[in-house]
Amino acid sequence: MPEGNIIHRIARIHRRWLVGRHFTADSPQGRFSSEARHLSGRALVSVDAHGKHLFHHFEGGVRLHIHLGLFGHIRHFRAGAPPPSPTCRLRLASPHAALHLAGPQACELLSPEAEATLRARLGEDPLRPEASPTRAFEALRRGRVPLATALLDQERIAGVGNILRAEALFLARLPPLMPASTLRLADFERLWEALRLLLEDAARDGRIVTPHAPPAPWNIPGKRREDRFSVYDREGKPCPRCATPISRLALAGRGLFFCESCQATGTGDRPALR
């Protein structure tokens, strides 16, 4: 599932290339046909991202909400878009730009009240300028679930996925299984800063690169050369700090990667994030 950095990057692309254009909208798949008719002929006014959610506002107060989920993807075309795939849920077309959306978890038109209700359920997004670290700290500390579990709860902090969770906890030197309710303010501040910087860099560059992470093994099929991780998907490989083999365990059905030595306590020195 795309993490918050990908959704914010998509929003930036859409603001640059799609805002201000009038679109013809249809649903080649057929599951969004009636809603597409409400979009067709309208200009896109603004695009916004909150965590893993994407919001498009069209003239006339029409609001489109997209959540890609595990299988959704968006393709963009400057001109000469190819025919849409049979699974294309929504196509927005104009003479100079087009968008094809397929497989989303959510693709719906929302009233202003429904959008406000949805946004109110979402946690603080480190990439949003109005994000409150104080509220995020309070939300993370609710209950005694493991900190690694709390970080994936989108109602606590929005936009964090499995990769960012592992890398930020490593940068902040925090044990992933510590009870979230025991998180101290100084430790949270390191964690929040790590999340913010990782998300900012990834939203700008289109890839996640953890500071001081080892080079990726280019010869492994399926590995992206651009991504560089310190612990994520590196089970058994040496920690870039201390050479302890990286550990992996299953937590709530997701793989959790961490260094048992560097992340043994929450009292480490402030990490070098740049």
| Active-site amino acid positions | 2-3, 52, 254
Angle between helical axes of 185-205 and 162-171 (0-180°, round to 10): 130
Counting beta carbons within 10 angstroms of the beta carbon of residue 208, is it exposed (0 to 12), middle (13 to 18) or buried (19 or more)? buried
The residues, ordered by sequence, that sit 6+ positions from 114 with a Cβ below 8 Å of its Cβ are none
CB 203 within 8 A of CB 51: no
Place of tokens 């993370």: 140
Neighbours of 120 (CB within 10 A): 8
Place of tokens 């093994």: 217
